[in-house]
Structure formats: structure tokens, C-alpha cells
Structure 1
Amino acid sequence: MKKKILSFILIFTIFLGLTPKNTKADSEVYLYRISGSDRFETSVEVSNVSYKKSENAILVSGRDYPDGLTGGVLASVLNGPVLLTDKNSVPTSVKNELSRLGVKNVYIVGGTGTVSKQVENSLSGYNVKRVSGSNRIETATNVAKLIRTLTDYNSNTRYFALANGYDFPDALAVGGYLANTKIPLLLTDNKTLSANNKNFISNYNIGRAILVGGTSSVSPKLLPSNVNYASYSGSDRYKTSLDIAKKGFSNVKTVVLTSGEDFPDALAASTLSKYVDGPILLTNSKSIDSEIVKYIKNGNITRLIVVGGKGKLPDSLLEIINKEQIKGPEEIGDINEPPKG
């Protein structure tokens, strides 16, 4: 009798168009924005949310992306923020953040062509270390080597990630995942695997790779024959970020949304991704990919944190997720607790 009643209720609800759906009400995904008056202040605001104190900070160019692509993993290993700088001077907001954090060690990632010796000299009150190479690919390899010297052996030390160093979106999208797992990122031009990269893989006896992006960006044929691989990719940069989110994260409660059309905000967002234990998703300024919208609204996600200003990611872009007013970073609250309305 009970089965008949349940069947009748189910048929009746279907008839009324009331079939239960997994999609949450808009109000269940709370929206927050972290931004500053420029890219440098945005990196400071991300740091302010993610860290109360830190002895270490990573400094990368806010004007050019290649060297900064690998900074997020190093920042994660050193438990410090990624902050952006101009080529010849450190913005006042960044200097103030270094002071607030109580930083002792500043790691500059990149050569003097992107972050000048003048910047290094201006940081005389800190222990300054520069990690660089003759080009972006060698810089990434040297960062990976440093990460390995700082990381205790674990299951993730058997991995490296490989992305195209001449196009930023895929490498930026995977930055959050790599920051969470502390897997180093190597770069390629997709024509060959550099000798330095081959030596790194061989010397550390690494047998597993994560290829980030489609074969037109990074081909499996580049890998040594003894290296197995998994691919994180999609038909475009936005779907690649979604593939990373699905494969690299589980039980996601918070996601970070940033521009896939420009690099600065995403450079700093990797450490925020680690803080919230959630992926970085990319979007353009006009619309969020429909599959990303489904991922956000059909899961257990309760917080969406936008990194970047309204010029790149306007409020109207987010109405498909929630039409309520976007909150500021001070309202994010305890990331381990449900958001407060």
C-alpha cells in the first residue's frame, strides 16, 4: 500500500512539473569580491584574506606573466602569498602588506628583465632570494627544483605538471590545484621538452605527469617514455578550468572565479585557492560558461569568491549565480563554516 502511495505522489509531482532538482536556489551560493584599485592592490587584498602572518612572500611581475606562473606552488610550499610588483619599483600597498605580514624572506621569481635589480635593492630590510633562469622555461625548472628541496617526500612528489609557457590561461587555471597539492609546474613551448626539464624529471625519478591543456598546447609526445600521464583539458580555457576542478577537487564548498582574459588577478588567486581548498574557475567578462554555472549550482558549493574588479568581471556577470548584492572580503568569514546570510 505504501509503495502505491509513493508512486502516486511521484506521478502527481511529475504531472505538476514539480520533479525534484539538484540545482540550489540562487541564495544558497553567496557571492564575494576581492579587488583593489589596481592589480597590485588586488594581490594585497587576496593576501589579506588568506594570511594573518607569514615569514615568506613571493614577488612576481604584475606586468608580464611567464615567470609568475610557477609562483603559486612555491608560495604554497613556503606558506606565504603571491604579491605583484612593477618592474622597477615595489608599490606602496605591497610594501605595507609585507610589513603587516611580518615577512622576513622575499622570493623574487623571474629575472631582472621582469623584476629589476632596483626592486631587489629596495627590499634591503628583507632576506631577498631570486629564483630565475635564462628564459621562462628554465625559471620554471629552477622553481621546481627549489620546491623539491623544500618538500618532504609524499605521494605528490612523484608528480609534475606540464603546461604551455607561451599562453597563460591553462597554467593559471591549474595554479590552485597545484598550490593545494604542492606539485611543481614545468613549462614547454610544445615543440620539445628542454634538457633542464628532462634532467629534473630524471634526477628526481618522477614517473607521473599532469598535462594541462589540449594537445595543441602540450603534447604527450614530449614526455619521456617511462612517464605516465593524465590530461586536464577542455575545448577552451574555461572548460579546461572546469576539468581541473572536477578531476582535482572533491567535496568543494568554495570556488574562486577570475578572468581568463588577463593574467594578473589569477596569479595572486592561487594562494586563495589553497586557503579555501577550492578550484580556480575562469570566465570572460560577458558570460560564465554554462557548464561552469551547472557545476556551481548543482553541487555543494556555498561560496563563490570573485578575484578582480568590476571592469573585468562586472556584477551583472554573476546574476546567473545569484542576483543578491555581492559581499566584500571582510564578510567571507570562517571558510570552514557555512556562510552567514
Structure 2
Amino acid sequence: MVIQMKRFLIILLMGISLCSIVSAQDIDSVILTTTENYPDSFVAAVAANKIGSPVLLTDKNEIPIDTKNQLNELKPTTVYIIGGPSVIGARVENSLKGQGYEVIRIWGITRYGTSTEVAQYFWVGGSEKAVLVWDKTGTPDNGNEAMLVMAKDLAQANDAPLIISARNTLPSIVEESLKNLNVEEIILVGDFSESVKSSIRDLGIGISDEITGNRTRIRDRIRAKIKNLTRDMDRNETPLVIIAVGNWRDTIKAPFHPGKGISRLISNEDEIPDVIEEIEEGNYTRIIVVGKPDLAQQICDALTAEGIEHDCLTGNASRVAARIARLERSRIQKLQEKFRERLPRILEKLKERAQEIEEECGEFFDLANVTITELETNLTNVREYKNRVRELNRARNECVQAVARGNLTKARNRLQHLKSDVKSLRWEIRDLIRGEIKEETDAETVNATEIAAKIRERVQEVSRIKEELLGVRNELAEKCRERAEKIEELENRSQYSRIHERIKVALRECADVRKGKGITMTTEAVTTTSTSVEVTAITTTITIIPATIKERHGRR
């Protein structure tokens, strides 16, 4: 009996240990990027290295079978989609939600906007450093993908966000992001104009290095900087990814390799001897070859002939990305463990932003509500859009409740859902709000000085209305004044990323107050039995302001 009991205890302890090992090897999240362009994958890779997450690829409207299989194997709870609906459609997002994943989409209208959104989401506590690289907007065929690959490696090695900018001007959204992240020094990759450098210095940010020249010179300088950072590390922590490049599509076949690694782009077979020499000098022990099939095979054959161990990964982009995720799983898990250790500090930062998160949840809902209300007569499927606004209101309420309970992680994720869903809704009806979409695009591509000149008159209009309502004493007028003061504050701080949308909502609500109508907030108490916390759920209705308020307003 005693022997049997001992055996039982041994088996039980082994089971507990095994469960602990399995739990420790879980992957919390996966980042999904598009096969439609290259910038999103490289920006995502740097974030993936920070949180310990594989990067997988999807087509615009269908998740490839290799990506599906890898998701099933990894079993993450969260899937981050990096990129907007023009590159990863709603069909993909809805498919993932239907499978039970929490889906968080992070995006901007341009690659500049997406890179800043990613930086601010994953670097919650800010970042002393940032790597800034230039690229053109538009189609990927004439882009700067080679430089972005190398800049991505440098950003990963420095644990710094990768931010994409225009070459000759510092977009307002980039300037705002650098300020929000409290960046103190920037590494520039590429020959930026003096105007951009001057704008950076005007922000009080130092330029610690400028890496310029042709592709070879930039590659060699970045490689030297990474090797210097990894000098005291185990050489196994510095992988080499050789990419056989025919066009930009080949570069995304290795969207992410964890750690402080180096990518080597090869355009023709004449460069193979140089790669072999680099490997012999660098003592790399993890070597992966991807890219253009025929050239990649030539590289693999040459490495085999030299007795150099390597992984030769061929196939389409999504298949290769999935194979790398499987190959690098243990190293990704180590990064994830480090990220988990930092979670308490991240939560402290979120607590500092609690009020801001709650306010933004309300602002994004208000924007959707005003947008659909104004376009009601122009929408053929207005009922569908009103239902979506109701769903957004529920999400806003969940955000408010999460803040009240102190669950700031949930609140921030609800905010990100709201932000993405409202932007997607407005993107769908962009033909009806072309002027507003143009303003939002300008905020991501035009410098702050130009935007300031364009919006000055509209800010003054909001300020005039605020002054008119000084003598009106009611909740609606007070809310209007608060919105106006927030807009004035943003203008004073040169933060223009969402000032157009805020002006739109303020002008609508303030105009209604002036006309004797208003958007009022009615509340109902919701008590949650599990926490016994009373939370206010907010619903929006259009009502007529009482006559006494009209008279008081009329006397002004």
C-alpha cells in the first residue's frame, strides 16, 4: 500500500511538472501581417521581438493554410493584426474572431501612421531610443524595402521602436509619436533631408547616429553596430538570415527572426562568396536561407559544399514565415518570458493613463455616432450602421467598466477595438467623407506647421462657440466647453493626429446646443454581481433642451 502511494505521488508530481513545462511553453500571442506590402511586417517584427510573439502572414481576404496550421499549433489567445482593411480585409478578422481568438487590429491610413500606432501600443512606457527610416507611400513596387529590412534589425537590437517617415519632411503623426514616447535620441537610417533633422532637433531630441550611403555601406555599418551590441552574448543569440532577393515579396518571407540578428540581402550569385566569408568570420551557428527560389537554392548548395549548417526554407511567403515560427519557437518563448517579467511595470504605466483611456473610448464612440447621424440620409444600409454604432456603444461601456474595476489591460484593449472599428467604419464610407479622410491622411503625411495653418480657422470657430456659451449653465454647454478646451490644448501642444475628428464632434454638439438641441447622456446603474461594483452604462439620445435653457441662451 505504501509503495502504491509512493508511485501515485511520483506520477502526480511528474504530471504537475509536465503541466508546468507545457504551460511555460505556451505562446500568448501571434502577430499577423499582410502579403500585400512589406512595411507592416518589418514594423511588426520589432514589436514581436519585444513581446515574444511569432509573425505570420496572411493574404488580404483569406488566411493561407500554412498560417492556419501554425495558429492551430501555437494556440495563442490573442492575434494582433498589423495593417488596415485595405491590406487585411474584414473577412480575415471576422474569421479569427469566429475561432475564438481575441483580435486586436493596429493600423494607420499610411505606413507612417501604422508604424507610430504600433510603437505607441507596444512601448507603453515610452522608449529612450527610436530608429527612424524613410520610405515612400503608395505601392510597394518602388519602395525602400532593403533599407527597412536593415533598419528593422537595428531596432530589434536596440529594443527600440521602428518608425517610418517621409524623407524630406517629418510628418505630424511621427512628431507626435516621438513626443508621446518621450524619445531622447534617434538613429537615422537613410539620407534624410536637413529639414527632417532640424525638425527632430527642434523637439529636443538628439540624433545619435546617421547611417547613410549605398546599400552595402548601410548594411556593413548596421552589422557592425549589432555585433558590438552582441559582443558579450552567446553567439547562438545572433542568427543570420540570408534573403535571396528578386523583389520586395522575397523580403517578407523572413518577417521576423528573434533576438539581435542580422539579415543579409543577396541579389545575385556573385555575392555568395562574400556571404560565406562573412559566415566564417562571424561564427554564426543559426543560419536561415529564404527568398527567391532559384537563387536561394544556389546559396544553400554553396553553404552545403562548405560544410556550413543551415536551414534552407523554400515556398511561398506564408509557408516560409510559418516554418520560421516553428523553428524559432523556443527562442520566441524566452522573449515572451522576459516580457512577462516586465508586465508589472507596464500595468503601472497603464494606471497613469486610466483617465485618458476612458476619455478616448468616449471620443471614438462620439465620432462614430456623429458620423452616422450626419450621413443618415445618404446611407442605403443605415440600419446596419446604426446597429454597429450600438455595438460600439457597448464596447465603450465595457471600456468604462474596465477602468472602474482597475482592469487597465482590458480597458486599453477595448480602446484599441473601438479605435480600429471606428476607423474601419469611416474607411468603408470614405467616398461620403472624402474631405475628412483627406485631413486624416494629411495628419500622417504633412508636417505639423502645415496642418497648424490649415486648422487654425476651425479651431478659432470652436473657441468662438465656447465663448458664446459661457453664460449657459447646463450639462450640454459644459461638455461643449470641455471639448473646445481640449482642442485648444491639443493645438497648443502641436498634437494634430486626431484634432480634425475632435473638431468635427465639437462643432456638431456645440452647434446643437446653440440651436436649442443637444446630445444628452442618460445613465442607468448596472451592478455586477461578481464584483459588486456599480458601473454607469452610457446611452446616447437626441433630445430637446428645456425652454428655460433656450431662454437663458437667447439672452446672450
TM-score by length of 1: 0.70
The one-character-per-residue Cα deviations of 1:77-106 (angstroms, maximum 9, x if unpaired) are 221111111011101110110110011111
SS, match of residue 197 in structure 1? helix
**Aligned-pair CA distance for 1:293:** 4.9
Match of 2:205 among 197, 221, 227: 227
**Aligned-pair CA distance for 1:327:** 4.9
d(CA) in 2 for partners of 1:87 and 1:201? Answer: 30
Q: How does 1:84-99 map to 2 (within 5 A)?
A: 84-99=57-72
Deviates more, 1:230-239 or 1:181-190: 230-239
Give the equivalent residue in structure 2 for 1:122: 95
Q: Is 1:168 aligned with 2:145?
A: yes
Give the equivalent residue in structure 2 for 1:30: none
d(CA) in 2 for partners of 1:324 and 1:335? Answer: 25
Give the equivalent residue in structure 2 for 1:246: 224
Give the equivalent residue in structure 2 for 1:135: 110
Give the equivalent residue in structure 2 for 1:267: 252
Q: Which has more helix, going by share of residues?
A: 2
Does the CA-based 8 Å contact 2:29-2:78 persist in structure 1?
Answer: yes
**Aligned-pair CA distance for 1:266:** 3.7
**Aligned-pair CA distance for 1:287:** 2.9
1:195 corresponds to which letter in structure 2? S
Does the CA-based 8 Å contact 1:162-1:209 persist in structure 2?
Answer: yes
Gap runs ≥5 in structure 2: 1-23, 137-143, 313-322, 332-556
The one-character-per-residue Cα deviations of 1:191-246 (angstroms, maximum 9, x if unpaired) are 21111111121223211001112347996345233222244635432442332111
Deviates more, 1:130-139 or 1:196-205: 196-205
Give the equivalent residue in structure 2 for 1:257: 242
SS, match of residue 187 in structure 2? strand
Give the equivalent residue in structure 2 for 1:237: 215
SS, match of residue 174 in structure 1? helix
**Aligned-pair CA distance for 1:298:** 2.3
Q: How does 1:12-23 map to 2 (within 5 A)?
A: none
2:244 corresponds to which letter in structure 1? S
2:223 corresponds to which letter in structure 1? A
Gap runs ≥5 in structure 1: 1-50, 337-341
Larger RCO: Structure 1 or Structure 2 (Cα < 8 Å, ≥ 6 residues apart)? 1
1:198 corresponds to which letter in structure 2? E
d(CA) in 2 for partners of 1:318 and 1:139? Answer: 39
Give the equivalent residue in structure 1 for 2:37: 64
Give the equivalent residue in structure 2 for 1:109: 82
SS, match of residue 311 in structure 1? helix
Deviates more, 1:132-141 or 1:224-233: 224-233
- Backbone CA RMSD of aligned residues: 3.3
SS, match of residue 294 in structure 2? coil
Does the CA-based 8 Å contact 1:245-1:281 persist in structure 2?
Answer: no
Query: What is the count of residue pairs matched by the alignment?
Result: 278
Q: Is 1:311 aligned with 2:275?
A: no
1:161 corresponds to which letter in structure 2? V
1:178 corresponds to which letter in structure 2? A
Larger Rg: 2
Aligned-residue sequence identity (percent) comes to 24
Q: Is 1:300 aligned with 2:283?
A: yes
d(CA) in 2 for partners of 1:261 and 1:232? Answer: 28
Match of 1:78 among 46, 51, 54: 51
d(CA) in 2 for partners of 1:58 and 1:97? Answer: 12
TM-score by length of 2: 0.45
